[in-house]
Amino acid sequence: MSRFVPVALEHASRLVNHGPTVLVTSAHGERRNIMAAAWSMPVEFTPPRIAIVIDKSTYTRELIAASGSFGVCVPGAAAIDLTYAVGTASGRDIDKFDAFGIQSTKGQILGVPLIEQDCAAWLECRLISEPHTEAAYDTCFAEVVAAAADERVFANGHWSLDESNAELHTIHHLGAGKFARASDVRQARALPR
């Protein structure tokens, strides 16, 4: 049974505003792919929009250009090995979903593949065509049309990370297959003025 619950679109940017490594899913017809991306961020709150760097030579970009949509899944620490694997293999050579035993569901709005197992959240995204930015900087912009998160780590519009949900803490790629896990959350206190 899924622990994912819908995230209000006004809170969707919070799913990626701390810079986690993400899994980008794409599909067109019978073709599908998944890749890891280290550079994504929110760029607008209403409507929610994100920017993500996806190299123009990748199979993922080809599928996104053909379909006009993609998924952004936020892997937890339990998915470090999978994240590294899909980030180092080409979807032109293998179906990574089959090769790595990845189970996905279809997004209800755009039909993109979405992953919940070992992930903290996902976003369904509609590509916003920006040919110059895509060509010059490999940066794609998209509107988030739906989002959901595992209620054990994200609820009421906020992250809640503690030892009870450590396997779902988001990850951050440091290079060479090394990842840092988001943890040690601290609440800021008001300073006297």
Residues 38-60 have pLDDT tens digits of 999 999 999 999 999 999 999 99
Asked whether the predicted pLDDT for residue 161 surpasses 80, the reply is yes
Q: Give the Cα-Cα-Cα angle 36, 38, 40 (nearest 5 degrees).
A: 105
191 in a structural domain: no
Amino acid in position 59: Y
Q: Is residue 193 part of a domain?
A: no
Tally the domains of the chain: 1
Is 22 within the bounds of a domain? yes
Q: Establish if 19 belongs to a structural domain.
A: yes
CA angle 114, 127, 169 (to 5 degrees): 40
Surface-to-core class of residue 77, CB atoms within 10 Å of its CB (0-12 exposed, 13-18 middle, 19+ buried): buried
Mean pLDDT of the chain: 96
Cα 4 to the chain's mean position, in Å? 14
172: DSSP letter: E
Q: Show the CA angle centred on residue 123, arms to residues 77 and 64, nearest 5°.
A: 105
Residue 192 resides in a domain: no
Structure confidence at residue 1 as a pLDDT band (50, 70, 90): confident
- Say whether the peptide bond before residue 20 is cis (omega within 30 degrees of 0): no
Residue 15's domain spans which residues? 4-181
Binned at pLDDT 50, 70 and 90, residue 187 comes out as confident
φ, ψ for residue 29, nearest 5 deg = 60, -130
Read off the CATH number of the domain in which 38 is found. 2.30.110.10
For residue 5, the model assigns a pLDDT of: 97
Q: Distance (Å, rounded) from C-alpha 24 to C-alpha 41?
A: 13
Tokens found for residue 30: 């019978």
Contact of 37 with 25, CB cutoff 8 Å: no
Q: Is residue 186, in this structure, part of any structural domain at all?
A: no
Q: Is the predicted pLDDT of residue 121 greater than 80, yes or no?
A: yes
